[in-house]
Structure 1
C-alpha cells in the first residue's frame, strides 16, 4: 500500500522554499525590466514571470520527479502571492509602478518615426509598417501617434480621417 503522507510532507524546509520563490521572483523581475517590451509578447512582465516560475516549480511535482507535492506547491504559492502583492502595491501607489511596470513607448509622433525607440526595441521600419497596415494605414504620415504598449503590442492613433484605427 502506498504511503500517501509522503505526498504532503516536504524534503526542503518551508522557509527555504519561501525564500527561494521570493528571490527568484524578484531576480527575474529585475532582469525582465531590462529586456525590451517586445520580448514579452502579449503578456505583461509579471504574467510572464508567474508562468515561467510556476511551470518550473511544478515540473517535478507534476511528473513525480520530486517525492512530494509541497516542494512544488510552496514556491508556486509564494510566486503567486508576490504577484498579487506587487499588483496591489502598484495600484495603491502609482509611483511604485514607475519602477515595476513598463510604460507605452512612442514609435510614431505626428507622422514621424521615433528611431531612437525603434532602435532600443529592435523594431524595423518594415515591422512597424506591417502593424500600420493592420490598422488600415499605408503610410507613417497618416499616423498621429503609435506606441509600443507594455504587453508588446503596437497601438496606433490615426490622424483625423485616416484609416480605421482597428487591428
Structure 2
C-alpha cells in the first residue's frame, strides 16, 4: 500500500514527464481554443485532458503511446467541434447552449430564472459584484454559454448590439 516497487516510481517519473511534455506541445499546436472556457463542451474536454493525463501517469495498464493517442483524439475532436459550431448554425445549436437574458431593464425575468435554475439572489449577487447597488441601474443580466453571468449597466448599454439575438 505504501510502497510497491522502485520500477513503478521510475515509470511514473519517465512516463509522466513525457506525457506532460507531449500534452503541452499538443496544446500549443492545437491553439488557444482547446482550453477555452466558452461553453460546457469546452469544460468537458479540459476535464478529459486532466483525467487522461492522470491515467497515463498512474495506470501501468495504459502505455504512453495509448495515452498520447487519447490526448490527440481529444484535441482533434475539440477542433472538429469548434469548427462545426463556429461555421454551422445547426452545429452551434447542438454543441453549445444559447445565452439567456435573465434580467431586462431592471426587471428579473422569473420564468427564465426557473428554466435555468438560477435564483434571484444569484442575480442580485452578480449585480453587486459588478459594483451596482440597484437593479434599476441594470439594463441586462445574461447567463452566458459558459455559465457565467454578464451584467450590463444601463449607462453602459450603448446601442444594445451586444444583446442581439437574445429575446426579451
State TM-score, norm by structure 1: 0.64
- Contact 1:60–1:66 (8 Å) recurs in 2: no
**Matched residue, 2:68:** 73
Alpha-carbon distance, 1:141 to partner: 1.9
Work out which structure has the larger RCO, using CA pairs closer than 8 Å and 6 or more positions apart in sequence: 1
- Partners of 2:144 and 2:61 in 1: how far apart? 39
**Matched residue, 1:19:** none
Matched, 1:122 2:111: no
1:46/1:116 CA distance change after superposition, 3 Å: same
Gaps of 5+ in 2: 1-6, 8-13, 16-36, 158-168
**Matched residue, 1:49:** 44
Matched, 1:140 2:135: yes
Alpha-carbon distance, 1:59 to partner: 2.2
Alpha-carbon distance, 1:121 to partner: 2.5
Deviations 1:18-49 (A, max 9, x none): xxxxxxxxxxxxxxxxxxxxxxxx65222211
Matching of residues 58-97 of structure 1 within 5 Å:
58-97=53-92
Alignment: residue pair count: 124
Matched, 1:156 2:125: no
**Matched residue, 1:23:** none
- Partner of 1:123: helix, strand, or coil? coil
Alpha-carbon distance, 1:72 to partner: 1.4
Matched, 1:100 2:78: no
- Partner of 1:87: helix, strand, or coil? helix
Alpha-carbon distance, 1:140 to partner: 1.8
